[in-house]
């Protein structure tokens, strides 16, 4: 930790003071950037005028990759960010810019070895019994060597920072921030705060320059998420780590975008991607601490079938309120409650509280009514991102940095999956997690979201509950016990009167369906001649109900039996799990609720019987 005391921290004020006194250096670098990017833009304009924009797209994408590489680490980071934004870049650009993750020029090995000795205060020979003579990989901010520790014989990865990188990155961000100030002042078409976005991006890049901070990020990430047997996070060797040198376990594996190599190991890419999606959902919505740079170079498939996460320089956090708001947003989307969806943008920090959301509702309705013609699980994540992007573009939204990083994380995983299966849908793979959280999380916001999902116009939607249970059981962490307890606590709590009224009505309807459904089955099991004889040729038998009414009642009863079967077949189900429920039902409020249900059932069945006698 002492070695990271002097690590560089991003400060716009300090950069301004530093480079304002060096105008010649700033002007020279600005000219270099303007010439490189200006030449590229000029070629695009010519292509458009000549009608060759689509024809030359691949060639221009390669040129842009080379331009970013020549301009140095800052623009390599910009290109890496763009490579995960299908909402901004065409596919040809995404593919070319993704090569920036690996195909970077290396710096001299002598400089790297000198940096290791200077940072750790020891000679190479005293630290390693062997170290690769050249780097195994080159990243935007450093390069990686494979070595064997002398004291233990363990094989490690040693990441060494590029020399004088703070100087080049600092000057670039000083210039880019100046452009952001001009955009905020003169470009009305861009509604987001350009300077704030640039500052957020620069802050994260500077955090990546502190390898001790990256080691701490890795340790925290491992503590939160490596409890799953299919996720691997390497250990950090703190005695051999400083602000510019990071030493961690060496991980043997194949990059997640090398499908053939993965399948040669007997592994399935989709299984690994699904592991990544489930882990990402836990990161984004459970603990809120997530890996913000999950490009293919940072995700490895190990020979044991685990998904290994690497490079913890760029991390981010989802605010707690936003975590619940995202899940609630999905519920509102399923319910097509566009007014509630629009209000969610306050909690998500997309809109300031003084903005009126009513004009946004028709735009959401127009997009999602078309998109939701298929089921939610069939929606493509990119379709939603593109559609919402069009809506956000028309209104005064400010997209928070954490949300942009969430989109980046999930679009990368979906892109990897689409290589293996063009029909893969991230939302379909995510839905079991959402179902489990709704059924088991005691958070009041999610409990309200669950009630909103299950009740409509005073009626309980049993088909929704059945679907949630079917999906929730696909999540390995789902248990019946967790699904039952929070609902009961809510139902019998002091604020549950409105819900109790709905539940009493539904319990009466359900009991009637079971009793009369069983009676209908019994009647249908009697041979036809005997039915005619017993009931004097009455076609409906003893039940004064239409065929559709009987069918509806039987359908409800059968759905209830299926739901009970789903609960019983849940992993770790034990009848003893019902004991806490029986204890809860001993409470006065529960006994009162039971009395109301029994009274309602008695009245309902008595009314049925009286109706039967009068019609007879």
Task: Kindly state whether residue 300 falls inside one of the protein's structural domains.
Answer: no
Stronger pLDDT, 411 or 120, i.e. the higher one: 120
Q: For residues 147 and 53, state if they share a domain.
A: no
| CATH, residue 243 | 3.30.200
Residue 489: other Cβ atoms inside 10 A: 13
Q: For residues 66 and 8, state if they share a domain.
A: yes
Q: For residues 84 and 116, state if they share a domain.
A: no
H helices of 190-304, in order, are 194-208, 211-225, 259-264, 269-282
Q: For residues 119 and 193, state if they share a domain.
A: no
User: Which residue, 442, 472, 502, sits at the end of a domain?
Assistant: 472
Question: Which of the listed ranges 231-240, 480-489, 546-555, 576-585 does the model predict with the highest average pLDDT?
Answer: 231-240
User: Which residue, 207, 235, 265, sits at the end of a domain?
Assistant: 207
pLDDT in tens, 364-410: 888 777 766 655 555 666 666 666 666 666 676 776 767 767 777 77
Task: Kindly state whether residue 273 falls inside one of the protein's structural domains.
Answer: no
- What is the spatial distance between Cα 439 and Cα 253, in angstroms, rounded to a whole number? 37
Q: For residues 93 and 118, state if they share a domain.
A: no
Length of the chain in residues, anyone? 616
Active-site annotation holds for 252: no
Q: For residues 434 and 527, state if they share a domain.
A: no
pLDDT in tens, 296-346: 778 899 999 999 999 898 888 888 888 888 888 888 887 788 888 888 888
The helix-helix angle for 338-347 and 320-334 (nearest 10°) equals 170
pLDDT in tens, 198-239: 888 888 888 888 999 999 999 999 999 887 788 999 999 999
In which band, very low, low, confident or very high, does the pLDDT at 495 lie, cut at 50, 70 and 90?
Answer: low
Q: How many alpha carbons fall within 13 Å on the CB side of residue 555?
A: 9
Q: For residues 73 and 192, state if they share a domain.
A: yes
Q: For residues 220 and 191, state if they share a domain.
A: no
Q: Is the pLDDT of residue 590 over 60?
A: no
pLDDT in tens, 423-451: 777 777 787 888 888 878 878 778 778 77
Structurally, how many domains does the chain consist of? 4
Answer yes or no: are the C-beta atoms of 313 and 293 closer than 8 Å.
yes
Q: For residues 216 and 123, state if they share a domain.
A: yes
In this structure, the strands spanning 315-317 and 289-291 are antiparallel
Stronger pLDDT, 570 or 368, i.e. the higher one: 368
Going 380 to 386 to 389 to 390, the CA torsion angle's sign is: negative
Answer yes or no: are the C-beta atoms of 291 and 303 closer than 8 Å.
no
Task: Report residue 429: phi and psi, to 5°.
Answer: -75, -25
The pLDDT score that the predictor gives to residue 580 is 47
Q: Which of 293, 311, 441, 482 is catalytic?
A: 293
Does the pTM surpass 0.75? The reply is no
In which band, very low, low, confident or very high, does the pLDDT at 134 lie, cut at 50, 70 and 90?
Answer: very high
Q: For residues 416 and 564, state if they share a domain.
A: no
In which band, very low, low, confident or very high, does the pLDDT at 25 lie, cut at 50, 70 and 90?
Answer: very high
Closest to 311 in 3D by CA, of 381, 255, 271, 240 = 255
What residues make up the domain containing 19? 2-101+169-207
């Amino acid at each position: 930790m002492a070695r990271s005391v002097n690590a560089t921290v991003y400060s716009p004020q300090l950069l301004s003071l530093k480079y304002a006194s060096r105008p010649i250096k700033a002007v020279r670098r600005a000219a270099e950037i303007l010439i490189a990017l200006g030449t590229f833009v000029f070629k695009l304009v010519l292509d458009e005028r000549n009608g060759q924009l689509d024809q030359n797209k691949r060639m221009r994408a390669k040129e842009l990759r080379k331009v970013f590489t020549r301009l140095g680490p800052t623009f390599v980071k910009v290109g890496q960010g763009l490579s995960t934004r299908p909402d901004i870049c065409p596919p040809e650009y995404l593919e070319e810019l993704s090569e920036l993750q690996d195909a970077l020029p290396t710096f001299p090995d002598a400089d790297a070895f000198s940096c290791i000795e200077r940072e750790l205060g020891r000679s190479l020979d005293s630290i390693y019994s062997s170290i690769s003579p050249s780097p195994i990989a080159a990243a935007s901010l450093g390069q990686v060597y494979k070595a064997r520790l002398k004291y233990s014989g363990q094989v490690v990865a040693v990441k060494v920072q590029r020399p004088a990188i703070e100087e080049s990155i600092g000057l670039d961000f000083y210039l880019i921030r100046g452009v952001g100030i001009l955009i905020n002042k003169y470009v009305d078409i861009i509604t987001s705060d350009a300077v704030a976005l640039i500052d957020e991006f620069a802050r994260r890049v500077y955090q990546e320059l502190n390898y001790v901070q990256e080691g701490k990020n890795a340790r925290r990430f491992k503590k939160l998420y490596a409890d799953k047997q299919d996720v691997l996070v390497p250990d950090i060797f703190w005695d051999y780590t400083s602000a510019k040198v990071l030493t961690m376990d060496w991980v043997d594996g194949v990059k997640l975008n090398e499908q053939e190599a993965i399948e040669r190991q007997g592994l399935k890419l989709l299984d690994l991607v699904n592991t990544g999606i489930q882990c990402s959902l836990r990161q984004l919505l459970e603990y809120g601490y997530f890996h913000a740079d999950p490009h293919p170079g940072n995700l490895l498939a190990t020979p044991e079938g685990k998904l290994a996460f690497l490079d913890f320089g760029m991390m981010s956090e989802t605010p707690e309120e936003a975590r619940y708001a995202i899940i609630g947003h999905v519920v509102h989307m399923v319910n097509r409650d566009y007014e509630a969806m629009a209000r969610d943008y306050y909690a998500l920090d997309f809109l300031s509280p003084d903005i009126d959301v009513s004009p946004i509702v028709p735009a959401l309705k127009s997009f999602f009514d078309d998109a939701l013609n298929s089921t939610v699980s069939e929606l493509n994540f990119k379709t939603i991102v593109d559609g919402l992007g069009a809506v956000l573009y028309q209104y005064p939204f400010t997209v928070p940095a954490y949300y942009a990083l969430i989109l980046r994380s999930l679009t990368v995983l979906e892109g990897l999956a689409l290589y293996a299966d063009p029909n893969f849908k991230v939302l379909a793979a995510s839905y079991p997690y959402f179902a489990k959280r709704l059924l088991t999380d005691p958070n009041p916001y999610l409990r309200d979201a669950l009630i909103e999902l299950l009740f409509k116009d005073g009626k309980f939607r049993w088909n929704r509950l059945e679907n949630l249970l079917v999906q929730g059981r696909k999540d390995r962490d789902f248990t019946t016990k967790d699904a039952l307890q929070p609902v009961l606590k809510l139902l019998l709590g002091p604020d549950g009167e409105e819900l109790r009224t709905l539940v009493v009505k539904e319990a009466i309807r359900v009991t009637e369906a079971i009793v009369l459904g069983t009676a209908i089955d019994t009647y249908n099991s009697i041979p036809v001649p005997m039915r005619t004889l017993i009931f004097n040729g009455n076609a409906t038998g003893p039940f004064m109900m239409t065929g559709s009414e009987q069918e509806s009642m039987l359908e409800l009863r059968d759905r209830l039996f299926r739901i009970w079967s789903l609960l019983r077949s849940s992993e770790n189900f034990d009848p003893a799990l019902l004991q806490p429920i029986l204890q809860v039902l001993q409470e006065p409020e529960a006994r009162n609720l039971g009395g109301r249900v029994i009274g309602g059932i008695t009245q309902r069945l008595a009314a049925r019987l009286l109706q039967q006698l009068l019609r007879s």
